[in-house]
Structure formats: C-alpha cells, structure tokens
Amino acid sequence: MGESGDGAHLIANAAAAGDRDYEAAVRLFVAEEQNHARMLALLLDAGGAQTKRWHWSDSVFVRLRRLLGLRLELMILTIAEVVALRYYRALADGGGDRLLVDVSERILADEVHHVPFQTRRLRLGFRDTSAPARFAIRQIWRAMAAAVIVVVALDHGRAVCVCGVSRREFVITTMRIFDDTAAEVFS
C-alpha cells in the first residue's frame, strides 16, 4: 500500500524547493516506488492473495509525512526506506520462494539507492541548522524510527521470522541501519 501513492505531496514539496533536477529525481523516485507496489501486487496475486485497500499504519505514515515541509517528509520516508532495506533483505535471503526472492531482490536493488538519495537531501536541508537543534532533531528522529521499527517488527514479525530473522534481530539490525543513516545526515 505504502508504495502505491501518487507522490503528489512529495513532488509538490520538491518543486517548491526550486531545484528542477531534484524535482525530476523525486518524480523518478515516486515512479520506482509505484513499480514496487505493482510488483508486490502481482506477487500477492500469484500467491492467491489480494492487496489491502486500507491499513492503519499507512494512514499514520501519510499523515505524519504531510505535517510539515519537505524535511519532515523526507525524514519519515527515510525511516520507511531503512525498514524496507532490512525487511526485503530478510525476504530475499529467507523467503524460500523463487518469485518472492526475485521481487525482493529487485526492490532491494532500488532501495539501496533510495536511502543515500534521501540522506543527501536531508544533509543539505539541515546544513544551516544549529548544532543544538541538529542534536535534538536527531534524537527525536531516532525515537520515531525506533517506534516505527518496533511496530513493523510486531505487525510483520511473523513474515520475517519465517525467513529466519527474529523480531529482536530485525529491530536491532534495522536500528543499526538507521543510526548509520542518521550519522550520514548529521555528519
């Protein structure tokens, strides 16, 4: 669900930043995410399952992203991208089904570029922020990431456990990825 949106809000925020190259890159990013949703829908269809039309976590995710400007939207998206890195890695490594592994690896091939893409823009967005404010923002962002990662571990824990990753391991390794990402933003 989360990857199937039209990205209109993000694209509008990117356009408002006044950088045409960045806006074009965001449009490509949105198209890649939509392609992920398409692949996942086809994967579910092949397994005889249907896509969901609504999930509370998607609604919360969208509302949070739209609260403030581009920086907050990218911070929320980056959390989702970090979670995706670990989640799809678990599916690719332990999924056991050739189609699931193939789709997961294709998504990962894109996601490994999405995190640095978001990181570069966030670093630029926070470059003129004072050191105390950057510290506070980083701590709040980390707490948000931890909450999201724990919710995903609880909500999707069965799937990662079937793939050989415990909920605890999922949380720990995903937080490490997040901490490395945050360090890049605020370095």
Whole-angstrom distance, CA of residue 180 vs CA of residue 138: 12
Give 132-161 as a DSSP string. Answer: HHHHHHHHHHHHHHHHHHHHHHHHSHHHHH
Q: Per mean pLDDT, which range of 42-51, 113-122, 133-142 is the poorest? A: 42-51
Q: Tell me the per-residue pLDDT of 170-184, one tens digit each, with 9 for 90 and over.
A: 999 999 999 999 999
Beta-carbon contacts of residue 2 (< 8 Å; ≥ 6 apart): 37, 57, 58, 61, 80
Whole-angstrom distance, CA of residue 157 vs CA of residue 167: 5
Q: Tell me the per-residue pLDDT of 46-95, one tens digit each, with 9 for 90 and over.
A: 888 766 664 555 555 555 555 567 888 899 999 999 999 999 999 999 98
Whole-angstrom distance, CA of residue 134 vs CA of residue 186: 7
Q: Does pLDDT of 122 surpass 80?
A: yes
Question: What are the backbone dihedrals phi and psi of residue 74, each rounded to the nearest 5 degrees, phi first?
Answer: -70, -35
Q: Please tell me the pTM assigned to this model.
A: 0.85
Q: How much is the pLDDT for 5?
A: 64
